[in-house]
């Protein structure tokens, strides 16, 4: 597996740039090696569980061709770009690259998107509703970033969040290993100068719509939120009017459904540990028994979490959340659970310590058989 080191002062970055202003870092990754080749990228984009698309530039406009795409000849030699979402789910080296940003909250981590672009390929001037780190792989691209206040949406049928041309505050030609951080809402545009590969590491938070939708689903599923507003008719209020007091009481009634801290902690943990993209599970050919795993750890096998799997520890809920599942923790299981949440790779010695706890041993054996962790 490739080893990547990010040349960035994380504390200074968090203080001065994170969700505040863009940043360009030349040679952020020394001697950068692409985690995937263009041919491998094209092959992965054919997989039914992969999310891919081709963006074609045509006379100053952009067209989206949804994947899987098996034939690239109709696109010609220039002016198109192949994008593969969640490359880190399929390529361990891509996950290793994404792990360089583990100083940020992992519940925000979305995916690592890989791209291959021909000369002139790109997606046009656009904005994203998430924070993104763009890492330049092979080839060269020119990137421009505008001020957050300067963007104006552009009517388009492509489905891309395009904006009108903008005055750049950053204008750089990126080479392999260079890094560009763009906070949410800043317009940006990439122009491919030579055949090029790049990688976008995205961090997003759920919208109000997503949060409230998840809450509503939870209330319906568990038959909660049955309380109704009980109030007497107020003197001086016309029968055909909605009074301010009644509306305020309705808002309070809705707020009361969210005032259960234990429920909300559990609900948020389940939602934030789920991935937007399908995971590439790696179940064993034959299911393991606990004794089988103990023997393999004794033989020196390491335990690996698959790419993209979110494993979040919540002190508020006193639970470990794995891909939307909640596991309540006892005092004896907390140290082992923290190890699983913190590390993607567990050494044999650490795995034996985790398996010393009966509750962790039981559900981790199940997760290995489901393909969320694998041995190597």
**In this structure, how many other beta carbons lie within 10 angstroms of the beta carbon of residue 144?**
18
Give domain status of residue 16, yes or no: yes
Q: Where are the alpha helices (DSSP H) in the chain?
A: 10-16, 38-44, 92-98, 208-221, 244-256, 261-272, 290-298, 334-342, 348-355, 358-370
Question: Do 216 and 143 lie in a common domain?
Answer: no
Question: Do 218 and 300 lie in a common domain?
Answer: no
Question: Do 29 and 164 lie in a common domain?
Answer: yes
Question: Do 65 and 212 lie in a common domain?
Answer: no
pLDDT tens across 203-223, in order? 999 999 999 999 999 899 888
Tell me what the mean pLDDT of segment 36-46 comes to: 95
Give domain status of residue 282, yes or no: no
Question: Do 218 and 162 lie in a common domain?
Answer: no
Categorize the per-residue pLDDT at 197 as very low, low, confident or very high, splitting at 50, 70 and 90.
very high
**For position 304, which CATH number holds?**
3.40.366.30
Categorize the per-residue pLDDT at 225 as very low, low, confident or very high, splitting at 50, 70 and 90.
confident
Task: Give CA–CA dist 37/121, Å, rounded.
Answer: 17
Question: Do 172 and 157 lie in a common domain?
Answer: yes
* Nearest C-alpha neighbor of 51 from the set 108, 90, 109: 90
Question: Do 215 and 155 lie in a common domain?
Answer: no
Give domain status of residue 121, yes or no: yes
Q: Could you list the residue range(s) of the whole structural domain that residue 170 is in?
A: 10-203
Q: Report the predicted TM-score, pTM, of the whole model to 2 decimal places.
A: 0.92
Give domain status of residue 251, yes or no: no
Categorize the per-residue pLDDT at 75 as very low, low, confident or very high, splitting at 50, 70 and 90.
very high
Question: Do 163 and 177 lie in a common domain?
Answer: yes
* Nearest C-alpha neighbor of 214 from the set 278, 257, 277: 257
How far from 268 is each of 21, 58, 261, CA to CA, in Å?
Answer: 28, 43, 10
* Nearest C-alpha neighbor of 346 from the set 291, 295, 298, 297: 297
Report the alpha-carbon angle 161-273-307, nearest 5: 80
pLDDT tens across 4-30, in order? 999 999 999 999 999 999 999 999 999
Cβ neighbors of 89 (< 8 A, separation 6 or more) are 95, 111, 277, 278, 279, 280, 306, 307, 308
**For position 160, which CATH number holds?**
2.60.120.650
Q: To the nearest whole percent, how much of the chain has pLDDT over 70?
A: 95
Answer whether 252's CB lies under 8 Å from 227's CB: no
Question: Do 88 and 213 lie in a common domain?
Answer: no
Structure tokens at 85: 């979402």
Total length of the chain: 376
Give domain status of residue 245, yes or no: no
Categorize the per-residue pLDDT at 234 as very low, low, confident or very high, splitting at 50, 70 and 90.
low
Give domain status of residue 171, yes or no: yes
Residue that the structure tokens 């040679």 belong to: 27
pLDDT tens across 305-318, in order? 999 999 999 998 89
pLDDT tens across 100-142, in order? 999 999 999 999 999 999 999 988 899 999 999 999 999 999 9
Question: Do 157 and 36 lie in a common domain?
Answer: yes
Categorize the per-residue pLDDT at 145 as very low, low, confident or very high, splitting at 50, 70 and 90.
very high
Question: Do 185 and 216 lie in a common domain?
Answer: no
In whole angstroms, how large is the CA radius of gyration of the chain?
24
Give domain status of residue 278, yes or no: no
Categorize the per-residue pLDDT at 270 as very low, low, confident or very high, splitting at 50, 70 and 90.
very high
Question: Do 115 and 195 lie in a common domain?
Answer: yes
Report the alpha-carbon angle 99-105-111, nearest 5: 50
Q: How many domains does the chain have?
A: 3
Query: Cα-Cα-Cα-Cα dihedral of 349, 353, 356, 359, to 10°?
Result: -120
Structure tokens at 293: 């795993």
Residue that the structure tokens 């552009």 belong to: 154
Give domain status of residue 86, yes or no: yes
């Amino acid at each position: 597996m490739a080893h990547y080191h990010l040349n960035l002062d994380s504390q200074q970055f968090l203080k001065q740039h994170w969700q505040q202003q863009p940043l360009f870092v030349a040679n952020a990754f020394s001697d950068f090696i692409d985690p995937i080749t263009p041919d491998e990228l094209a092959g992965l984009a054919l997989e039914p569980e992969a999310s891919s698309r081709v963006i074609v530039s045509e006379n100053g406009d952009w067209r989206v061709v949804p994947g899987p795409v098996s034939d690239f000849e109709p696109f010609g030699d220039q002016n198109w770009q192949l994008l593969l979402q969640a490359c880190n789910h399929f390529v361990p080296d891509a996950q290793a690259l994404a792990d360089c940003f583990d100083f940020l909250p992992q519940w925000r981590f979305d995916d690592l998107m890989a791209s291959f672009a021909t000369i002139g390929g790109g997606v046009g001037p656009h904005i994203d509703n998430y924070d993104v780190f763009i890492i330049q792989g092979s080839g060269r691209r020119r990137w421009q970033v505008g001020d957050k206040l300067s963007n104006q949406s552009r009517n388009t049928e492509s489905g891309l969040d395009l904006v009108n041309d903008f005055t750049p505050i950053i204008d750089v030609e990126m080479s392999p290993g260079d890094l560009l951080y763009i906070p949410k809402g800043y317009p940006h545009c990439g122009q491919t100068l030579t055949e090029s590969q790049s990688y976008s590491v995205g961090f997003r938070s759920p919208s109000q719509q997503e949060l409230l939708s998840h809450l509503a689903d939870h209330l319906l599923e568990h038959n909660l939120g049955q309380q109704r507003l009980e109030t007497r008719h107020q003197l001086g209020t016309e029968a055909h009017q909605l009074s301010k007091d009644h509306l305020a009481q309705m808002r309070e009634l809705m707020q009361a459904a969210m005032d259960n801290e234990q429920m909300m902690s559990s609900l948020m943990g389940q939602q934030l540990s789920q991935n937007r993209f399908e995971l590439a599970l790696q179940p064993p050919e034959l299911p393991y028994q606990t004794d089988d795993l103990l023997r393999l750890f004794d033989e020196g096998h390491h335990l690996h979490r698959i790419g993209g799997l979110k494993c979040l520890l919540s002190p508020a809920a006193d639970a470990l959340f794995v891909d939307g599942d909640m596991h309540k923790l006892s005092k004896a299981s907390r140290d082992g659970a923290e190890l699983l949440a913190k590390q993607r790779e567990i050494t044999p010695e650490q795995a034996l310590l985790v398996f010393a706890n009966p509750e962790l041993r039981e559900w981790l054996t199940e997760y290995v058989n489901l393909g969320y962790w694998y041995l190597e």
